[in-house]
Amino acid sequence: MSLKTLIVIPVKDFASAKSRLRPVLGDTDRSQLARRLCERTLSFFGTHFPDYPLLVVTASAAIGELARGYGASVLRELRPAGLSGAAALAAHWSKKHGFDSQLLVPADIARLDADEFRTLLCQPRPAPSVLICPASDAGTNALLTTPPDVVPFCFGPNSSAAHQGAALKRSVPCELLHFDHMRFDLDTPDDLHSLMHQHSGDLPRELVTLWNL
């Protein structure tokens, strides 16, 4: 059975994004980094997965306009509600528009690998089910829920375990998928150092430039 799947990308206002990078990046550079990560993510899915509709959840009118330029639908928040709040809004929108599944992906994954996302999206899954791609810090870097609202969203510290626990509590089949690239995001100075060590400096050029490496 083919499951109609929506890819959801929550995006914070660029000016307030990446606050944990303040020790190494000024306000302008952090805003530029957040914008470039967002645009790179939108371009990636539009190029490699054109058959999957995109939905950007944001409180920012400017980001909404940017997302539409990449062919994404936009769900405007009345006010920023955090990642879990954005995910819940998206799940309601997804079901209303007839989607069987929702893949939630943050806009700050440092290395987007088409093969990894293809493996995730093509993974056999029953309905209901939850597929979790843990981040290197035990967070959640991709969450595929069938139906979209099958579990409450628990983003934050140790969220991969929290999402797994929520699925188990509801007797929903759940699987953790570990990917070499998808597990890395860019939130803290330590994230950059880990990425450089893991990938021998092979980072997107614009990220290297912003970090003055």
pLDDT, averaged in runs of 10, over the chain (213 residues)? 91 75 68 88 97 98 98 96 95 98 93 96 96 93 98 95 98 96 75 58 50 44
Task: Report the alpha-carbon distance of residue 196 to residue 37 in Å, rounded.
Answer: 17
Task: Report the alpha-carbon distance of residue 103 to residue 130 in Å, rounded.
Answer: 10
pLDDT of residue 22: 61
- The dihedral built from the CA positions of residue 58, 131, 153 and 159, taken in this order, carries a sign that is negative
pLDDT of residue 29: 76
How many residues belong to the chain? 213
**Which domains occur in the chain, in start order?**
5-210 (3.90.550.10)
Q: What is the DSSP letter of 200?
A: T
Beta carbons within 8 Å of 212's beta carbon, 6+ residues apart: none
pLDDT of residue 194: 64
pTM: 0.88
Nearest CA among 141, 49, 145 for reference residue 100: 145
pLDDT of residue 201: 47
